[in-house]
Amino acid sequence: MPEGGILGHLRAFYGTGELTERANFHGHFLLWLVGRFFEFFEDIIHHHLPHDNDIKITSP
């Protein structure tokens, strides 16, 4: 895709698998991204209190 995936363009990645003491297999990944990564998070993460009209109060 010319516009990249959900996080933008991927420059490189590294992943490794690990077993826990209870034999649960899981992975750890490190991604190097190019471009829109911070724009993406600025769009989805809000650093403010909600406005009064955003709060919906319902009675039990």
Tens of pLDDT, residue by residue over 15-58, are: 999 998 888 999 999 988 886 667 767 777 777 776 666 666 67
Domain count, the chain: 1
Kindly state whether residue 39 falls inside one of the protein's structural domains.
Answer: yes
Q: Which domain holds residue 20?
A: 9-46
Specify if 60 maps to a domain: no
Residue 14 within a domain: yes
Say if CB 23 and CB 33 are below 8 A apart: no
pTM for the model stands at 0.45
Residue 34 lies in a domain: yes
Q: Flag whether 2 is in a domain.
A: no
59 falls within a domain: no
In a domain, 54, yes or no: no
Distances (CA, A) of 12 to 34, 37, 59, 60: 9, 14, 51, 51
Sequence-distant (6+) residues with CB within 8 A of 7 are: 31, 33, 36, 37, 40
pLDDT at 52: 65
- Element spanning 30, H or E: strand 25-34
